[in-house]
Amino acid sequence: MKKLRYPFGTITITDKTKQLVNGALDSGRISGGKLVREFERGFAKLVGTKEAVAMSSGTDADALALAVLYDLGAKRGDEVIVPSLSFVATGNAVLQAGFIPKFVDIERTTLNIDPKKIEAAVGPRTRAIMPVHLMGKPADMEAVNRVAKKHKLLVVEDAAEAQSGTYRGKEIGTLGDMAAFSLYIAHVISTGEGGIVATNNPEYANTLRSLRAHGRACKCETCMMSVSGGHCDKRFKRGTDIRFIFERVGFSAKMNELEAAIGLGYLDIYPKIFAARLRNFKYIHKQFAALKPHLLTIDPVAGEEMAPYAFPVLVPPGAKFTRDQLMTYLEDNGVDTRSLFLSMPTQCPGFSFLGHKLGEFPEAEYCADNGLHIGLHQDINEEHIDYFIELTKRFLTGKI
């Protein structure tokens, strides 16, 4: 069998991106301006929301979306319900926003927050629920929204890995009050680094524009000064320079023009990228059936489309090999792998101050110890997937 290189992620730089980057460099205006605004509009149109506000990372997108809660009466130290299994950015963002993460265990069959356990986590200081659509698998948003409505909680979708997924015919990103997306290299749409918050609430969008710029009073949809360097009629109407009036505690989380140029290139070729990723997902999901029950994955169900971000693999209970043995074998043979994250409250030392003990979140801990994932991006094809399947079959020979 011919050895192949199967990378986890990729980035596509289009000719349009190169032209836009060069134009920005030639103009000397590379801080967030007209390209960022153009990208925001294009992303909002793609997702199907009225607004999208670009950030410097997906973590910032999570954190700033939650920081909107302060304008709604939340206090520092209030709680946000999150799943115990996710990339650590989810929990970090809650803390960075000044809140306390209230962790809930997941379902092994979906990798997402267990809908049956959400309401029990609601307390007097709970202000929001932030479900994660992990590995592009839509969370049970009907259950999430039902609890949120009953207890008057905000819903922020952590859609970092779920761009292009659907739930009951609706786009991921339109199912809560806001949705935070990551635009990191490995994701369906990328700006290299970066994140973006989508919402149908113009007031939330205004607050987000303030929050990403230190909390300043400037929050126009299009900033005349950043787009053209021209005169702003609002600048001195409040008695002093509005750019130095700070209405809330904010962040420094702006996207720049060079990142937006990459994103605009992606928006142009999105149908092609999505089609390639979806084709890869469907093919690997079909071929993976030959590896069951010795290895498991999560499956789409009726009424949803999983976003073709990555492909998760779980080692089942009682296996005669470990996840790490399988990962080492795959890596040694050219297949990039990633472990399936950690149980944030019990396996990430940074959260130990919250006092959780190993064993409190058994499903998350099991998946963390026994799960991995590989890429599904547009630069791989059926040959790469066949190589992964054949390699895995060879590994299993003698192990089962």
Token reading at 141: 């948003």
What is the overall mean pLDDT for the chain?
94
Q: Model confidence over 24-82: pLDDT tens digits?
A: 999 998 998 999 999 999 999 999 999 999 999 999 999 999 999 999 999 999 999 99
Nearest to 137 by CA among 289, 371, 301: 301
Higher per-residue confidence, 244 vs 163: 163
Tokens linked to 344 = 């944030």
List of residues 6+ apart from 11 with CB closer than 8 A: 185, 190, 192, 262
| pLDDT for res 399 | 76
Q: Could you tell me how far CA 239 lies from the centroid of its own chain?
A: 41
Least confident of 224-233, 239-248, 325-334, 362-371: 224-233
| Domain 270-396: top CATH class | alpha beta
Mean pLDDT over residues 158-179, rounded? 97
Query: For residue 173, what is the DSSP state?
Result: T
pLDDT of residue 83: 98
**Is residue 227 scored above 70 in pLDDT?**
no
Can you tell me the mean pLDDT for 334-349? 97
For 67, other C-beta atoms within 10 Å of its C-beta total 27
Range list for CATH 3.40.640.10 in the chain? 15-104+112-263
Fold of 15-104+112-263: Aspartate Aminotransferase; domain 2 (3.40.640)
Question: Residue 225: is its pLDDT beyond 60?
Answer: no
Q: What pLDDT is stored for residue 246 in this prediction?
A: 79
Question: In sequence order, what are the residues at sequence separation of 6 or more whose Cβ sits closer than 8 angstroms to the Cβ of residue 15?
Answer: none
Q: Do the beta carbons of residue 32 and residue 260 sit within 8 Å? A: yes
For the stretch 250-292, pLDDT in tens is 999 999 999 999 999 999 999 999 999 999 999 999 999 999 9
Q: What was the pLDDT predicted at 312? A: 98
| pLDDT score for 231 | 60
* Per-residue confidence (pLDDT) for residue 240, from 0 to 100: 76
Pinpoint the residues of the chain covered by CATH 3.90.1150.10: 270-396
